[in-house]
Amino acid sequence: MFVLKKDSIEYENKSLRLPKELINRVQKLADSNDMSFNKVVIQCIDYALEHMGRENTD
């Protein structure tokens, strides 16, 4: 199960283009958990990478 954490980590800047609907969904999740958009995106990506099938990790 995906659970948001409020940890502090080191950052590096990287630009991404995301669909507006995805931005709206993530922003709503961030707002409802009193977190930054960036922290929610990081945790979503980390969760997805940790739960990928092995055939996708090579």
Range of the domain at 26: 20-52
Q: Report the number of secondary-structure helices (H) and strands (E) in the chain.
A: 2, 0
- What pLDDT is stored for residue 55 in this prediction? 64
DSSP state of 52: S
Q: Residue 20 — pLDDT band, cuts 50, 70, 90?
A: very high
Q: What is the mean pLDDT of residues 16-23?
A: 97
Number of domains in the chain: 1
- What pLDDT is stored for residue 58 in this prediction? 55
Residue 26 lies inside a defined structural domain of this protein: yes
Residue 57 lies inside a defined structural domain of this protein: no
pLDDT in tens, 24-43: 999 999 999 999 999 999 99
